[in-house]
Amino acid sequence: MTHYPKPPFKPQQQPVPGDQRKMEPMPDCGEQSYKGSGRMANKIALITGADSGIGRAVAIAFAREGADVAVSYLDEHEDAKETARWVEAAGRQCLLLPGDLGEAAQCSAIVNDTVKQFGRIDVLVNNAAFQMTYKSLEDIPDEDWVKTFNVNITAMFRICKAALPHMAEGSSIINTTSVNSDMPNPSLLPYAATKGAIANFTAGLAQMLGERGIRVNSVAPGPIWTPLIVSTMTEDMVKEFGGNTPLGRPGQPVEVAPIYVLLASDEGSYISGERYGVTGGKPIL
């Protein structure tokens, strides 16, 4: 068994969106540990927010399972290049797609560029997210509320809509929600609201796309040690991050990736409309 780090963690605030290379301890995205077994041989996957954290772990896992990967990210170029290095080391192709998913044109562009490079999309992982912490409702600027919804849920709608013409029967859509979807942290009010919307969107879209043979599921992580944490939370929140879970620690990105592999692979062929928690023991109901 791997013994992952427990709090307390050292102070390490960073500017948004954060740099994984500067985190202590460094998040484990499976670079040294994930072993594939051909469960996604020759599939094409588009993953948003895949420069670091959960997205990187999923990209590495997919590549080691045999998939080529398109990596959408904001502007964390060095982190994204590191993800590409691991994908290519697995013998798979990696396409880097920088840009702001809060813009409608970028949502279409990442789909078009992926299809231009690879010809189709077999797996779409909507994982990119924005969050900030606030002490009160009055502290939330209108522009932050709008940005959070644009990046977290409106972009998801736009990307799904653009990708569907390029997805055949048997394809899979996986959306990242959160334990906050039904246990909202008040300091993350805009983020938590979008995560509830994602859970609902996923459940409805699964029913809408069932007749096309396209499966739609969501993954609800609990506290996972990623750059989003150190770039958006207070020093005190970072220090004790994940300590309130039954397992007493935050999860590592590599611990989340296997459920994405199951939902993306043909082994998950009868799984659709579901939400899977990876929460360290925190229940989702």
CATH number at 58 reads 3.40.50.720
Q: What's the structural domain count of the chain? A: 1
Residue 69 phi/psi, 5-degree rounding, is -130, 130
Domain presence at residue 72: yes
The residue-averaged pLDDT of 86-102 equals 98
Report pLDDT for 1.
65
Percent above pLDDT 70 for the chain = 100
**Residues of the domain holding 25:** 20-274
Rounded CA-CA distance 19/174 in Å is 25
Q: For the chain, first and last CA: distance in Å?
A: 28
Q: Which residue has the higher pLDDT, 118 or 234?
A: 118
3-state helix/strand/coil string of 109-120: HHHHHHHHHHCC
Report pLDDT for 284.
84
Domain presence at residue 9: no
Take residue 230 and report the two structure tokens written for it.
Answer: 């150190």
Instruction: Give yes or no: 276 in active site.
Output: no
Rounded CA-CA distance 175/159 in Å is 11
Domain presence at residue 105: yes
Percent above pLDDT 90 for the chain = 93
- Per-residue pLDDT tens over the stretch 11-65: 999 998 888 999 999 999 999 999 999 999 999 999 999 999 999 999 999 999 9
Residues 91-107: b if buried by 16+ CB within 10 A, e if exposed? ebebbbbebbbbeeebb
The residue-averaged pLDDT of 201-215 equals 98
Asked if the model's pLDDT at residue 109 lies above 80, the reply is yes
Residue 124 phi/psi, 5-degree rounding, is -115, 120
Domain presence at residue 201: yes
Q: Which of 62, 114, 63, 90 is nearest to 260 (CA)?
A: 62
Report pLDDT for 279.
96
- Per-residue pLDDT tens over the stretch 151-181: 999 999 999 999 999 999 999 999 999 999 9
* 164 three-state secondary structure: helix
Contact indicator for 161, 208 with CB cutoff of 8 Å: no
How many residues are recorded in the chain?
A: 285
Domain presence at residue 6: no
The dihedral formed by the CA atoms of 186, 217, 51 and 24, expressed in degrees to the nearest 10:
50
Q: Which of 73, 191, 260, 276 is catalytic?
A: 191
Asked if the model's pLDDT at residue 2 lies above 90, the reply is no
- Per-residue pLDDT tens over the stretch 215-259: 999 999 999 999 989 999 999 999 999 999 999 999 999 999 999
Domain presence at residue 135: yes
Domain presence at residue 187: yes
Residue 283 binned pLDDT confidence (cut-offs 50, 70, 90): confident
Report pLDDT for 17.
86
Asked if the model's pLDDT at residue 86 lies above 80, the reply is yes
Domain presence at residue 142: yes
Q: Which of 68, 172, 195, 178 is nearest to 125 (CA)?
A: 172
Take residue 275 and report the two structure tokens written for it.
Answer: 């939400």
- Mean pLDDT over the full length of the chain: 96
Contact indicator for 279, 248 with CB cutoff of 8 Å: no
The residue-averaged pLDDT of 125-130 equals 97
pTM of the model: 0.96
